[in-house]
C-alpha cells in the first residue's frame, strides 16, 4: 500500500486553503459579519467553481465538449483563470486525472484514483490527494498545446497566491469569502461527486453504464448540473447534463449563445 505523503500541491494550496477556511468560518460568527458576504461567496462559487472548473477545466479541457465562437474566446480564458483560484490545480493536471484515469477505469481498478468501490470512501473523498501518483501528461497533447492552459500550469502557485494576497490587500474579507470559501465549497462538491455519486443508494440511473455512477436530483440542482453524474458518464463529451425534463441544468440555456459547436446528450421522455 502506498504511504500517504504531502505533495507540493497539498503543502502550498490544500492545507493553507483549509486552514484559512476554518479561520473564515470562525471570523464570520465571531465578528458577526454581514450575511452579504455569503452572497459574495455564492457569486464567487458560480464564477470560480461552476464556470471556472466545471465548465472550463471539466467540460472544455477534459472532454472537449464544445468550442467557443471566435468573439468569445476571451470568455473561456477568463473563466479558466478564475478556475485556477478554486484550489484544484491547473487545467492540465485536472484534465490528466479526469480524462486519462477516472473515466477509462471508473470503479474498475486502482487506476481510477477516487473510486469508493476500489479504494474506500475516505480515499475517494479526499485521501487520494495524499497518494503519490504519476500522470502521463503527453497523452493529453491537445491541452498541453493550449498556450493559456500551459501558462496557468507553469505559474499555478504564483497565480493562486498572488490573487489571494491581492484580494487581501483590497479587503481581507474579499480574500476569505470571495476566494477561499467558494473554492473550498467547490472542492468538496467535487469530492462528493467522486465518492457519493458512485454509490448506488445515493441516486438513480438513466443509463446502464459499466461503472456505478448515479444521478442525484437535489445535488444536480444545487451544483448547476454536476450532480447528474450517471448522465455524464454515459455521454461525457456533452456541454450539459440534462437528459430528462426535471433534471435542471442551466448550462443548457447559458452556453448556446457562446459556443460555435458542441454535443448535446440524448433526451428521454418522462
* pTM, two decimal places: 0.94
pLDDT at 136: 74
pLDDT at 193: 87
pLDDT at 268: 79
pLDDT at 49: 95
Cβ partners under 8 Å of residue 169, min gap 6: none
Helix or strand or coil: residue 151?
A: helix
CA distances from 203 to 159, 188, 197, 208, 243 (A): 37, 18, 7, 14, 15
Helix or strand or coil: residue 179?
A: helix
Alpha carbons 225 and 234: distance in angstroms, whole number: 15
pLDDT at 56: 97
pLDDT at 127: 85
Give pLDDT tens digits for 58-113: 999 999 999 999 999 999 999 999 999 999 999 999 999 999 999 999 999 988 98
Helix or strand or coil: residue 144?
A: helix
Q: Which residues of the chain are modeled with pLDDT < 50?
A: 1-4
Domain definitions of the chain by residue range: 8-262
pLDDT at 98: 93
pLDDT at 6: 65
Strand partners, 234: none
Sign of torsion over alpha carbons 101, 93, 49, 177:
positive
Quote the strand ranges of the chain, DSSP E. 66-68, 259-262
Amino acid at each position: 500500500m502506498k504511504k500517504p505523503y504531502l505533495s507540493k500541491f497539498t503543502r502550498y494550496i490544500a492545507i493553507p486553503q483549509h486552514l484559512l477556511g476554518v479561520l473564515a468560518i470562525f471570523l464570520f460568527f465571531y465578528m458577526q459579519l454581514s450575511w452579504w458576504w455569503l452572497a459574495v461567496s455564492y457569486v464567487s462559487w458560480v464564477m470560480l467553481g461552476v464556470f471556472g472548473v466545471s465548465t472550463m477545466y471539466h467540460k472544455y479541457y477534459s472532454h472537449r465538449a464544445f468550442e467557443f465562437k471566435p468573439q468569445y474566446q476571451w470568455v473561456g480564458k477568463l473563466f479558466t483563470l478564475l478556475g485556477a483560484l478554486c484550489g484544484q490545480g491547473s487545467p492540465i493536471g485536472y484534465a490528466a486525472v479526469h480524462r486519462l484515469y477516472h473515466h477509462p477505469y471508473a470503479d474498475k481498478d486502482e487506476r481510477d484514483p477516487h473510486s469508493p468501490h476500489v479504494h474506500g470512501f475516505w480515499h475517494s473523498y479526499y485521501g487520494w490527494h495524499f497518494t503519490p501518483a504519476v500522470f502521463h501528461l503527453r497523452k493529453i497533447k491537445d491541452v498541453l498545446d493550449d498556450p493559456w492552459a500551459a501558462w496557468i500550469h507553469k505559474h499555478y502557485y504564483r497565480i493562486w497566491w498572488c490573487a489571494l494576497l491581492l484580494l487581501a490587500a483590497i479587503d481581507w474579507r474579499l480574500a476569505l469569502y470571495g476566494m477561499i470559501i467558494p473554492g473550498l465549497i467547490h472542492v468538496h462538491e467535487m469530492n462528493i461527486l467522486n465518492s457519493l455519486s458512485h454509490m448506488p443508494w445515493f441516486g438513480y440511473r438513466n443509463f446502464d453504464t459499466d461503472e456505478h455512477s448515479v444521478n442525484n436530483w437535489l445535488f444536480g440542482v444545487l451544483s448547476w448540473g454536476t450532480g447528474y453524474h450517471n448522465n455524464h458518464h454515459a455521454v461525457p463529451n456533452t456541454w450539459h447534463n440534462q437528459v430528462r425534463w426535471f433534471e435542471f441544468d442551466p448550462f443548457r440555456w447559458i452556453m448556446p449563445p457562446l459556443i460555435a459547436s458542441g454535443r448535446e446528450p440524448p433526451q428521454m421522455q418522462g
